[in-house]
Amino acid sequence: MSRALFIIDVQNDFTEGGALGVEGGTAVAAGITELLERAASDYDHVFASRDWHDAVGDNGGHFALDGATPDYVVTWPVHCVAETEGAAYHPSLDTSPVTVHVTKGQGVPAYSIFEGTTDAGETVSAALESLGVTDIDVVGIATDYCVLASARDALDAGRRVRVFRDLVAGVAPESSAKALADLADAGAVITESR
């Protein structure tokens, strides 16, 4: 049995001042760093995902381009373009404990960490299997999109999942509360990081 931490999309474009910044994103970044300083020994592996979109094209309809208004459901403003400052991890997140970096969304919409690949080119599912991960704690951004999708996929993959509600930040309060309730109904434990 081994436990992993999933840090979902704690990137500049998803924190205050970014292209799709959410309220509380910077505090989440700092809080995850504090968690890893306090409880690093709780985790055998630390995964961190990043949106890593192509600079050219609409990334499979994910970006609203050419003056189109994003609907914030299927289409979004341009964000987290690979190799840009917006795609970088937030500076308040200490990534030195990260053992597995995951990029997702290269040319296509992607919400779940399971849609990405590791720096070694593995799927997240394959990496979890090879590392023997049975339990996953989930933190990051955004509660109602990528955190939700990642935690749901972890449950679907047969893992025991906890989501730390004090270390997630969402797009909207109502949809974030619904996301956590839906995850609890699906079998995740919604708890605090302490």
Which one of 13, 80, 146, 153 is the catalytic residue?
Answer: 146
Is 13 considered catalytic here?
no
Which one of 9, 13, 137, 153 is the catalytic residue?
Answer: 9
Is 144 considered catalytic here?
no
Is 156 considered catalytic here?
no
Q: What is the 3-state secondary structure (H, E, C) of the chain?
A: CEEEEEEECCEHHHCCCCCCCCCCHHHHHHHHHHHHHHHHHHCCEEEEEEECECCCCCCCCCECCCCCCCCCCCCECCCCECCCHHHCECCCCCCCCCCEEEEECCCCCCCCHHHCEECCCCEHHHHHHHHCEEEEEEEEECHHHHHHHHHHHHHHCCCEEEEEEEEEECCCHHHHHHHHHHHHHCCCEEECCC
Q: Are 100 and 113 in contact (CB under 8 A)?
A: no
Which one of 80, 104, 137, 144 is the catalytic residue?
Answer: 104
Q: Which of 55, 74, 77, 52 is nearest to 66 (CA)?
A: 77
Q: Which residues have a catalytic role annotated?
A: 9, 104, 146
